[in-house]
Amino acid sequence: MAIDAIRLDGKVAIVTGGAGGIGSATARLLTARGARVAIADIAFDAATALAEELPGAIAVPLDLEDEGSIETMIAATVRHFGQLDVLHNNAALLGPEIARDDGDIEGMDTALWERTYRINVRGTMIACRAALPHLRESRGNVVNTVTNLALQGHVIQAAYASSKAAVIQMTRSIAASHGIHGIRCNAVAPGMTMTPALREAFPPPLRKMVEDETLRDRLGEPGDIAEAVAFLASEAARNITGQVLVADGGCASHVPGIAPFRAFLAGGEA
């Protein structure tokens, strides 16, 4: 067993959505901890620019709606590095326009619902399916990005939240089916995380509502989620599998309405 089990020296990791906010922070941290990283993203130019900054990293094009693209991502990574130890399924259909259209079920557009599941659930399944034979060889692991909204009801993002709930069950299924082969599979559930895309999608008043329900003094940053991913990907988490690590600043841990209670106890209006 490595003395410093949090290190990832000699490991090869794929980070999907690796050019985005959480993805790029994770790619940087995994590299800093010794991993060689394949940065997979539909925004290939951005992935290439990031890969050029990180020692040993490569960029791989990825379209999660295209089965062949997903399988090529896995094959290209293994061909280049000779192995695969960590698959971080981080990419998802989540942008400013999507967030504005993804509301409650009554107003849900069927095409948006189907595309959300095609990318978030089907795409993640195909990536896992293609990676598992290689992870069996390396006794590697999968870390899926989900969301705290997959664990509780809300009035927004019904498609995104329910698709990520499906990924949670996929996480458990893979852990149960492949643990005997030395493969671990876990999920990280961020809350509202201050990525550039989120700042554009959610106006300050809405962000303030979530911040008021956070048990910390601020909303999460991409680096906070990267730390959770890097931990689960490492040998420090060797006895953890089939779990969801909620990294949302405590939002999902308390009863609703904590913000008015805070105001009341502080002497303000309830």
Q: Answer yes or no: is 225 within a domain.
A: yes
- Which domain CATH number covers 85? 3.40.50.720
Q: Answer yes or no: is 2 within a domain.
A: no
Residues 193, 224 contacting (CB under 8 angstroms): yes
Residue where the block lists tokens 């909303």:
219
Confidence of residue 265 (pLDDT cuts 50, 70, 90): low
pLDDT given for residue 270 in this prediction = 45
Read off the pLDDT of residues 222-263 as tens digits, 9 standing for 90 and up: 999 999 999 999 999 999 999 999 999 998 888 777 777 677
Question: Both tokens of residue 245?
Answer: 């690590």
Q: Answer yes or no: is 4 within a domain.
A: no
Residue where the block lists tokens 């060689």:
36
| Closest to 69 (Cα-Cα) out of 16, 121, 114 | 16
Mean pLDDT, rounded, for 76-90: 98
CA–CA gap between residue 208 and residue 183 (Å, rounded): 40
Q: What percent of the chain has pLDDT over 70?
A: 96
Q: Answer yes or no: is 167 within a domain.
A: yes
- In the predicted structure, residue 23 carries a pLDDT above the cut 60: yes
CA–CA gap between residue 235 and residue 22 (Å, rounded): 21
Q: Is 160 a catalytic residue?
A: yes
- In the predicted structure, residue 201 carries a pLDDT above the cut 80: no
What pTM does this model have?
A: 0.92
Q: Identify the bridge partners of residue 185 per DSSP, sorted by sequence position.
A: 142
Q: Which of 18, 102, 120, 160 is catalytic?
A: 160
Read off the pLDDT of residues 31-68 as tens digits, 9 standing for 90 and up: 999 999 999 999 999 999 999 999 999 999 999 999 99
Q: Answer yes or no: is 7 within a domain.
A: no
| Closest to 188 (Cα-Cα) out of 136, 240, 239 | 240
pLDDT given for residue 261 in this prediction = 62
Q: Answer yes or no: is 5 within a domain.
A: no
Question: Both tokens of residue 218?
Answer: 């601020």
CA–CA gap between residue 249 and residue 122 (Å, rounded): 29
Number of domains in the chain: 1
CA–CA gap between residue 150 and residue 163 (Å, rounded): 8
Q: Answer yes or no: is 6 within a domain.
A: no
Confidence of residue 11 (pLDDT cuts 50, 70, 90): very high
Q: Which domain holds residue 203?
A: 12-265
Average pLDDT over the chain, rounded to whole? 92
Residues 142, 183 contacting (CB under 8 angstroms): yes
Q: Answer yes or no: is 52 within a domain.
A: yes
Q: What is the largest CA-CA distance in the chain?
A: 63
